[in-house]
Amino acid sequence: MKNITKTAAILMIAGFATACSSGGGETTRTAEAVEKTATEYDVKYQLNLDESAMAWEGYKPTGQHHGIVSITDGKLKMKDGILVGGKITFDMNSITVLDLTDPDMNGKLTGHLKSADFFEVEAYPEAMFEITGVEAIDGTTINKDLERGDIVPTHAITGNLTMKDITKSITFNAKVEMMDDMLMAESNMFFLDRTEWKVMFKSQKLGAKFKDDFINDEMGIKLMIMAVPKPEETASL
- CATH assignment of the domain containing 155: 2.40.128.110
pLDDT higher than 90, residue 2: no
Q: Quote the pLDDT of residue 230.
A: 82
- The mean per-residue pLDDT over the stretch 13-40 comes to 68
pLDDT higher than 70, residue 6: no
Domain membership flag for residue 97: yes
Residues 6 or more apart whose CB falls under 8 angstroms from that of 208 comprise none
Q: Quote the pLDDT of residue 210.
A: 61
Domain membership flag for residue 197: yes
CA atoms within a 13 Å half-sphere pointing along the CA-CB vector of 112: 11
pTM over 0.95: no
Domain membership flag for residue 86: yes
**Across the chain, what does the average pLDDT equal?**
86
Give the structural domain span for 42.
6-233
Give the span between the Cα atoms of 115 and 65, in whole angstroms: 17
Phi and psi torsions of 226, nearest 5° = -130, 140
Q: Which run of H or of E encompasses 109?
A: helix 103-114
Domain count, the chain: 1
Domain membership flag for residue 16: yes
Query: Which is more confidently placed, 17 or 109?
Result: 109
Domain membership flag for residue 228: yes
Domain membership flag for residue 206: yes
Best CA proximity match to 235, nearest among 36, 130, 78: 78
Best CA proximity match to 189, nearest among 222, 228, 236, 234: 222
Domain membership flag for residue 1: no
Residue 14's pLDDT band (boundaries 50, 70, 90)?
Answer: low
- The mean per-residue pLDDT over the stretch 191-204 comes to 94
Q: Quote the pLDDT of residue 150.
A: 86
Domain membership flag for residue 205: yes
